[in-house]
Amino acid sequence: MRALVVEDDPDIGQDVSKALANAGFMVELTGDGEDAWYRGDVEDYDLVLLDLGLPRLDGLSILRKWRANGRDHPVLILSARGDWSEKVEGIEAGADDYLAKPFKMEELVTRVRALVRRAAGHASSMLAIGPLRIDTRHMRVSVRGEAVALSPLEFRLVNYLAHQPGRDVSALELADHLYGSDDAGDGNAIEALVVRLRRKLGTEAIRTRRGFGYRLSGENP
CATH code where residue 136 lies: 1.10.10.10
Residue of 68 and 179 predicted with greater confidence: 68
Confidence label for 186 from pLDDT (cuts 50, 70 and 90): low
Residues 82 and 110 in one domain: yes
Residues 88 and 181 in one domain: no
Q: Is residue 221 part of a domain?
A: no
Residues 115 and 9 in one domain: yes
* Mean pLDDT for the stretch of residues 161-172: 91
Residue 221 has pLDDT above 80, yes or no: no
Q: Is residue 168 part of a domain?
A: yes
Number of domains in the chain: 2
Q: What is the pLDDT of residues 188-205, one digit of tens each?
A: 889 999 999 999 999 999
Q: Compute the C-alpha angle 124/128/133, nearest 5°.
A: 100
Q: Tell me how far apart the alpha carbons of residues 28 and 15 are, in angstroms, rounded to a whole number.
A: 13
**158 burial class (0-12, 13-18, 19+ CB within 10 angstroms)?**
buried
The three-class DSSP label of residue 178 is helix
Total-model pTM = 0.82
Output the pLDDT for position 184.
Answer: 54
The DSSP letter of residue 181 is: G
Confidence label for 142 from pLDDT (cuts 50, 70 and 90): very high
CB–CB of 21/27 below 8 Å?
yes
Residue 181 has pLDDT above 70, yes or no: no
Q: Tell me how far apart the alpha carbons of residues 47 and 87 are, in angstroms, rounded to a whole number.
A: 19
Residue 29 has pLDDT above 90, yes or no: yes
* Mean pLDDT for the stretch of residues 91-104: 91
- Of 116, 212, 209, 195, the closest CA to residue 160 belongs to 116
* Mean pLDDT for the stretch of residues 79-93: 80
Using CA atoms of 138, 144, 149, 152 in order, give the dihedral in degrees to the nearest 10: -50
Output the pLDDT for position 119.
Answer: 87
N residues, the chain: 221
Residues 81 and 172 in one domain: no
Q: Is residue 170 part of a domain?
A: yes
**Boundaries of domain holding 99:** 2-119
Residues 207 and 159 in one domain: yes
Residues 188 and 138 in one domain: yes
User: What's the mean per-residue pLDDT of the chain?
Assistant: 90
